[in-house]
Amino acid sequence: MIIENYSSTQRAEVLDLSIRTWRPVFAALRPAVPAFVYEAFYPQGWEQRQRRDLADRLDGEPENVHVALEDRTVVGWICIRLHPEDQMGEIHVLAVDPAHQRQGAGTMLMNHAFEQVSAAGMTMMMVETGADPGHLASRASYEAAGFERWPVARYFKNLNADD
């Protein structure tokens, strides 16, 4: 397996991989969040929103995207962002095709990100993920990589509901 810079010729492959990756995550997420929140974020469905948001990353900041390849097939990808004001790098997106999960691609991508961010002079790395059951494997991967959880609470109120 190798890590290389993303090429726009890989766009469709990366987007399709991403949808396969997040299908089970969103299946577990939907019952875990209030319906009004889910519907506000995904009025045309999660897949359409996810594909659009990820395409924005690929098209808008391709220099921050790296792919894991196995026999010239994209098996995972990562989007890294730098926040120099905080001396921090961010894993903005990390996805590994379900058929290739638990085979080291995610670890390789994270290690690549750590090297890139460290070389840019940053002193810490951050990643965000969900606290829902669908993101359990993600949380375990980040904790295994040495990330420490920051306690955050995010609340939503339905302004259209009768009180």
Tokens (6 digits) for 161: 């509901």
Question: For residue range 14-27, what is the model confidence (pLDDT) as tens digits?
Answer: 999 999 999 998 88
Domain of 131? Answer: 2-144
Average pLDDT, the chain: 92
Domain assignment present for 46: yes
Domain assignment present for 154: no
Does pLDDT of 163 surpass 80?
no
Domain assignment present for 126: yes
Tokens (6 digits) for 100: 């290739």
Q: Answer yes or no: are the C-beta atoms of 55 and 93 closer than 8 Å.
A: no
Question: For residue range 124-137, what is the model confidence (pLDDT) as tens digits?
Answer: 999 998 877 778 78
Domain assignment present for 152: no
Q: Answer yes or no: are the C-beta atoms of 85 and 123 closer than 8 Å.
A: no
Domain assignment present for 67: yes
CATH number of the domain within which 110 lies? 3.40.630.30
Domain assignment present for 9: yes
Domain assignment present for 158: no
Domain assignment present for 108: yes
Does pLDDT of 151 surpass 90?
no
How many domains, in total, are found in the chain? 1
Question: For residue range 85-128, what is the model confidence (pLDDT) as tens digits?
Answer: 999 999 999 999 999 988 889 999 999 999 999 999 999 999 99
